[in-house]
Structure 1
Amino acid sequence: MIRLNNDTPSDVLQDVKEGDMVTDTFSKTGLVESIEITDDGLYRVYTFHLVTGRSIVIRK
């Protein structure tokens, strides 16, 4: 299981793929259904959509 939070290194965030089991250490745990990576000019935003319908958003 991969723990995703703001302390997670960028190379680990890049290596997460669909089907991986992830958690945000609080209440969101599940398999990754899809991944969106966007750049808002200030941060790179990683959005991991889980099969449970929840999303984990990390800004680096």
Structure 2
Amino acid sequence: MIIEGYGYSHNFKTEEDQQRDKDLAKFGFTTLRFSDGEVMKDLPNVERVIVEYIFKFEEKR
């Protein structure tokens, strides 16, 4: 799992992110992205999403 926080300038890297995600998925990685606003203003929800992903991942194993 890759956790990525991003700001305004990141909005212009959509194609680059998509290609990187595809490349990393080949190795079994998943990227969870959160805006800087989410991290700064709603950290409990960011944490909830991360924990939920981990539980779902563990169930599949």
**TM > 0.5 between the two?**
no
Q: Which has the higher contact order (CA 8 A, sep 6+)?
A: 2
TM-score by length of 1: 0.26
Larger Rg computed on CA atoms: 2
TM-score by length of 2: 0.26
More strand by share: 1
More helix by share: 2
